[in-house]
Amino acid sequence: MIELDEVSVRYGSHEAVTPTNLRIETGEFFTLLGPSGCGKTTILRAIAGFVPVASGRITIEGRDVTGIPAERRGVGMVFQNYALFPHMTVAENVAFGLKVARKSGKEISRAVDAVLEATGIERHARKKPAELSGGQQQRVAVARSLVMGTRVLLFDEPLSNLDAKVREDMRHEIKRLQRDVGFTAVFVTHDQEEALSMSDRLLVINEGRAEQSGTARELYQSPATPFVCQFVGAANEIGPKVARALGLDAARRHFVRPEHVALAQAGDPQGVEATVADVDYLGSMTRAFLDVLGEPLQCQVPSGPSVDRLKAGMSVKVNLSRERILSFDGSS
Amino acid sequence: MTPSGMSRIPLVRSVLLVVVIWCAASFIYAPIFSVLRFAFAPEGDIGLGAIGELAGSRRVRTAIVNTLVVTGLSIITVNVIGIFQVAVLEYLRVGGRGFLRFAFLTPLIFVSVAAATGYGFVYGQTGALTRLLQSVWPALPNDWFTGTLAVVFAHTFLLTSFHFLFLRAAIRRVDYSTVEAARGLGASNMEAFARVVLPVLLPTIFATTLLVTYKSLGSFAIPSVLGGRRFDMVTELILTLNSLRRPDMAAMLSIGLGLAVILCIAAMQYVERRGSYVGGSKTPVPVERIRISSPFVNLAVHAAAYAIAVIQLIPIALVVLFSFAPARSIATEVLPSSFTLQNYVTVFSQSTAFVPLKNSLVMGASATMAGLMISLFVVNLAHRHANVGTTSLDLSFMAPWILPAPFIAIGLILTYDEPNLLVANRVLLGGFWILPIGYAVVSIPIMMRFLRAAFFSLDPALNEAAQSLGAPAFYRFLRVTVPLVLPVMILIAGMTLNVILSEYSMSAFLFNVNNKPLSIALFEGARSANPEQAAINLVYISLIMAFSLGIITLADRYGLGGGK
Amino acid sequence: MTRNHWLAGAMTFLSLLGTSAATAEPLVVYSPQGDERAVWIAEHATAAGHDVTILTAGGGELFDRILAERANPQADVVLGLIDAAMATLKAEGLFQPYVPKWADGLPEVYRDDADRMVWKFWQTPVVIAYNSDMLAQEDAPASWLELVEDRHAGKYVIGPATWQTTKTYLIGMLLRFADDGGEISDDGWDFMQRLYDNAIVVDSADAKTAAFVNKEAVIDLNWFGGVGRLADDVGYNAVMVDTEGGTPFIAEGIAITKGTDQLDDAKAFVDWFGSAEFMAAYAARFGQVPVHPDAIAAAPDSVKRNATLLRPQPIDWDVVAPRIDGWIQRIELDIK
């Protein structure tokens, strides 16, 4: 279990992370999600020990590690570019930590062989990192930490350097490893799809502040703040004219997800008048950009014969059901 | 290094820090202070008497004029040749590119006093080329190759190295799609070059021009060897004033030279900063060399390119050939008729011939070692803990970069010609170590530039990865940082040693009988009428060139040929 | 590289800095004698039981070195610098008093009774000689002042003004234009300018030799012993001119450096070197004229003849010495 108790981080006078509380269960796959520069990597680096905390306490498995240097925290880290030592072979990279710990040669080679096999890179043991594909490099990076018997692995946007296809594979790969080995994974990403698909729980961070934590479903269905609402999944902010037309409380902010915007034909008695400004055909889905009372609204509907007829300039009717509308206090 | 790593080895580090600060104080600040003191207050009272005396000397005035004239002419000729060479190698389709490339890179291996004596050997009074020219044109005097002509000629073909290094790199960064776009809009090849390529290259051309200016202003070995009677440049006059025991005038003149050089460097930095936005695209299409359509122009370009190549190669070829020739064929034959290894045997077996080589190797190696240690320490410190203290230490060791070698040399002489408390009340002048100290002082800025680049290109995540795997600071430095910068360090060491082997400016001021270096032996040998001495010189030059070629090939392989 | 290696390296560097290059086992003698003579002297010194290293360089260069090394003297004995140079070094306090055994009988002008430091052992004229294979006697200059004539243009060589020999003949010529107070008239400086304009000017011995090898130069301005040496090296016959107005003479001295760590060896060497026996042997070998009457008596007849061959130009070195630097500077910076 990793616990952050009122942890804050400062760079000079800039508070990069405001006091944050966080609890990550043992064996959990936990993701820190947020836009770039929001402080998610800073939190990760604070857990790893690369960034000193300005206040608060970090405990890992009950041990207070706040003042302990990185090399003695027993936390593994997988870097964005993997940070494999370019002058060492795969096997040497993996053996690095064991050598630091002054394990015997026999012990080292046994442990290295085992972890290389578990991660499926035993064939590449003698190669230098530069000879490996991105996916293989990532396995080495994970293996390098796992071999140490590390129970906590931190991932700093490790997939961002990969092609879309490999990326997908690697997501499953990391999940599989995490399940099989049973380590606690703390994963940093700005990619919400990645975060939603991989995590047991997530924390959404914005401008150094923890916005909301919970499972993917909780975050999507019941966002606690307008930011979470917009950042996790897509959301339209409903403009003042439409809000008035719908009779919504003008003092609050209202959002609706594109897939919850229902379209009807122009003659339909229900709904608000709208004009189609543009149409994006996405295969199974079609996205329409609408102009409602002079305010933009996106809508996403499954493709089909009636949807295929949508064209720019067409008049349609829009229906927004009240229970799909997410409302927040104006101040939040 | 993390704060925790710092606290564990404070003692070693503090001791090193003290040593490094002492080095900066003794060998950089004290000499600079001495120069200023002697220039402006030789007798303790502040005054500008030295300026008046300098201005009153005909020879000083002539030297300043010569220096300016040579520099002005060199800027033009070096640019013409240099830009043409780069165009031939990178923009035009010219046959035999490999050969031309080798010929055009020779200014990198044929430098300083070695090149000057080489030119003297070929074009001088009894030189093979002089004899060849006289056979065609008997009226040519023996000493035709002197003065402004000789110095500018030598500059023209020896100072193109900056074009070879930087302008070629710049033209490779030009996005060829912009040339194609220009041609698609109706521009001819030449118009495209003039309107699209050249503007992108201009900042680089300006920067290389300033480097040429900087080199030419401080030119020393070339005018000393080739200038001949009544032709001095400023650096030579500084040496003369020093030997006349007028440190005040020598110091003042070196300050003048220093100001000119600083001005040059300031201009260069300004251009570098301004030029940086002319970046080209992120994924540039490499420049495709164009075929010259006019057969007449094509022929002319080929002829000019090969003529330049021949001019650059002939001195080198003759030096190497004659180094394998019996001494008696020197100055009597245009091409040697027989070959022998005797000259090489002489250099390595006769102590008088070997001593300068040994001296230069010993001094070069110790200066390189000490310089590297200081650079590594300072760069590492400044890299890990950027603060006012480390930055000023870093800048202190960079200072000699903007000061011409004679300035520092005069400073060292004036500081250490009597017992000085900084060095335990010893006198360094006249001893062996003053010259390697001078070498180290002028080498450190370049070492630091390379090392800093190496440190900044190191992925900080590697260090953190090692840290998260449990490695303490020192282990990380040893097993991760050092192996990664080691190739750079070895290369820097090689390049520094290479420079020192033919270093003339510092050497001419600080050498003495205890440490006469190769460059001085070369210089003295160049004046000799004794063919044995000339033969030994040729062996020295050939060895220096072989060493340089090795280092440059290595540097090229590691992509460090940039020199900057 | 480990931190410890760093430290070790830095310490080594420091300790090397502190090491003086002269841990002088053998006696170090600074002398402007050319290679062959130095080797000959060293051989005979060794044979006589003196362990010496003779370091040779141009007289001017040695003079500068000795001054530069004043606080860290490398030489134990200075041998062969001329009157003015030895006087200056003595005035700078760089010598150690010692009266050699051979001081007895030395003519007063060659003694140093006031300070007991510098003792002259031989004298030499600085002469005009010419290559008689190339130049007829009537075409050779008959006096120093004739050198500026057009017919001698480009036929004589002036070496660096820092050389003792060069300095001596330049001073000799300038002194002909001096007033009673020792000031040189404008005519003197004009003459000096024409002298340089008319000459081949070189900055090394090798370059001077080269000028004679190339047969450009046929008139040699040289010290007495140097004339024959150059003629032998290049291969021509040299004839000396007994010039109108006289020939400047210089005497060379020997002194022990102050602060030598081998005082006894140095004294023994000085005693041996100036002895009539060695002086005579040297005279026999190189034709040098000693100043000690005993040595002249023991020298070959040719040397005895040379002792009176040329008319000396009277020069009062006491008056000249303090002015030399200024004159040389003017020559170097305005005339050369």
Mutate to test the interface with A, among B468, B474, B481 (most CBs of A within 10 A): B468
Which of A83, A84, A141 is closest, CB to CB, to B464?
A83
Mind telling me how many Å the CA of B288 is from chain A's nearest CA?
A: 30
Higher pLDDT, C123 or B313: B313
Where does the pLDDT of residue B478 fall: very low under 50, low under 70, confident under 90, or very high at 90 and above?
confident
C122 CB neighbour count, 10 Å cutoff: 26
Contacts of B517 (CB under 8 A, 6+ apart): B356, B359, B360, B363, B435, B503, B507, B511
* Domain extent for A117: 1-229
On the question of pLDDT at C12 being above 50, the answer is no
Which of B370, B373, B417 is closest, CB to CB, to C68?
B417
Residue B172 exposed, middle or buried by CB count within 10 Å (0-12, 13-18, 19+):
middle
User: Into which CATH architecture does domain C125-246 fall?
Assistant: 3-Layer(aba) Sandwich (3.40)
Which of B459, B467, B480 is closest, CB to CB, to A71?
B467
In chain A, residues with a C-beta closer than 8 Å to the C-beta of B468 are 48-49, 70-71, 73, 75-77, 145
Query: For a pLDDT cut of 90, what percent of chain B falls above it?
Result: 45
Identity of the residue numbered A36:
S
Structure confidence at residue A13 (pLDDT) = 85
Instruction: Quick: pLDDT tens for B317-339.
Output: 999 999 999 988 887 777 888 89
Q: Do A43 and A160 sit in the same domain of this protein?
A: yes
In chain B, residues with a C-beta closer than 8 Å to the C-beta of C213 are 529
Q: Do C69 and B13 touch (CB under 8 A)?
A: no
Q: Do A239 and A311 sit in the same domain of this protein?
A: yes
Is residue A332 domain-resident? no
Per-position b or e across C43-58, b if 16+ CB within 10 A of its CB? ebbeeeebebbbbbeb
Q: Do A140 and A16 sit in the same domain of this protein?
A: yes
Pick from A169, A164, A145, A166: nearest CA to A155: A145
Residue C72: closest C-alpha in chain B = B427
Structure confidence at residue B474 (pLDDT) = 79
Higher pLDDT, B329 or C23: B329
With touching defined as 3 or more inter-chain CB pairs under 8 Å, the answer for chains C and B is yes
Structure confidence at residue C247 (pLDDT) = 87
Q: Do B468 and A48 touch (CB under 8 A)?
A: yes
Q: Do A39 and A75 sit in the same domain of this protein?
A: yes
Is residue A305 domain-resident? yes
In chain A, residues with a C-beta closer than 8 Å to the C-beta of B7 are none
Contact predicate A288/A260, CB 8 Å: no
Instruction: Quick: pLDDT tens for C94-140.
Output: 999 999 999 998 888 788 888 899 999 988 889 999 999 999 999 99
Structure confidence at residue A322 (pLDDT) = 84
Phi, psi of C27 (to 5 degrees): -70, 130
Identity of the residue numbered B407:
F
Mind telling me how many Å the CA of B255 is from chain C's nearest CA?
A: 19
Q: Do A142 and A280 sit in the same domain of this protein?
A: no
Return the CATH number at A14: 3.40.50.300
On the question of pLDDT at B79 being above 60, the answer is yes
In chain C, residues with a C-beta closer than 8 Å to the C-beta of B60 are 333
Tell me the pTM: 0.79
Structure confidence at residue B10 (pLDDT) = 66
Q: Do B468 and A73 touch (CB under 8 A)?
A: yes
Structure confidence at residue B534 (pLDDT) = 86
Say if domain C2-10+25-123+249-313 classifies as CATH 3.30.160.270: no
Q: Do A127 and A54 sit in the same domain of this protein?
A: yes
Out of B109-123, B259-273, B480-494, C278-292, least confident range: B259-273
Q: Do A265 and A289 sit in the same domain of this protein?
A: yes
Q: Do A261 and A198 sit in the same domain of this protein?
A: no
Which of B427, B433, B528 is closest, CB to CB, to C69?
B427
Q: Which residues of A touch B (CB under 8 A)?
A: 48-50, 52, 69-77, 79-81, 83-87, 96-97, 100-101, 141, 144-145, 148
Higher pLDDT, A160 or C215: C215
Report the distance separating Cα C79 and Cα C98, nearest Å. 14
- Give chain A's mean pLDDT: 89
In chain A, residues with a C-beta closer than 8 Å to the C-beta of B470 are 71-72, 74, 97, 100-101, 148
Which of B240, B429, B528 is closest, CB to CB, to C68?
B429
Is residue A63 domain-resident? yes
On the question of pLDDT at B8 being above 80, the answer is no
On the question of pLDDT at A58 being above 90, the answer is yes
Whose structure tokens read 């027989």?
A: B338
Instruction: Quick: pLDDT tens for A235-275.
Output: 999 989 888 888 888 889 999 999 999 888 888 888 888 99
Size of interface A-B (CB pairs under 8 A): 70
- According to DSSP, the β-strands at C200-201 and C157-158 are parallel
Contact predicate C218/C132, CB 8 Å: no
Q: Do B369 and C202 touch (CB under 8 A)?
A: no
Is residue A331 domain-resident? no
Q: Do A184 and A260 sit in the same domain of this protein?
A: no
Q: Do A218 and A246 sit in the same domain of this protein?
A: no
Report the distance separating Cα B40 and Cα A120, nearest Å. 75
Report the distance separating Cα B351 and Cα B94, nearest Å. 48
Q: Do B529 and C214 touch (CB under 8 A)?
A: yes
Q: Do C334 and B58 touch (CB under 8 A)?
A: yes
On the question of pLDDT at C63 being above 50, the answer is yes
Contact predicate A248/A238, CB 8 Å: yes
On the question of pLDDT at B364 being above 80, the answer is yes
Structure confidence at residue C7 (pLDDT) = 44
Listed residues A197, A212, A229: the one ending a domain: A229
Structure confidence at residue A289 (pLDDT) = 94
Instruction: Quick: pLDDT tens for B95-134.
Output: 999 999 999 999 999 988 999 999 998 898 778 888 888 8
Residue A96: closest C-alpha in chain B = B469
Structure confidence at residue C162 (pLDDT) = 78
Where does the pLDDT of residue C24 fall: very low under 50, low under 70, confident under 90, or very high at 90 and above?
very low
- Give chain C's mean pLDDT: 85
> Domain count of chain A?
2
Where does the pLDDT of residue B531 fall: very low under 50, low under 70, confident under 90, or very high at 90 and above?
confident
Residue ranges of the domains in chain C? 2-10+25-123+249-313, 125-246
Listed residues A162, A195, A229: the one ending a domain: A229
Higher pLDDT, B561 or B515: B515
Mind telling me how many Å the CA of B341 is from chain A's nearest CA?
A: 43
Whose structure tokens read 């500026």?
A: C148
Q: Do B464 and A77 touch (CB under 8 A)?
A: yes
Query: For a pLDDT cut of 90, what percent of chain C falls above it?
Result: 40
Q: Is the dihedral of CA B559, B487, B544, B509 positive or negative?
A: positive
On the question of pLDDT at C4 being above 60, the answer is no
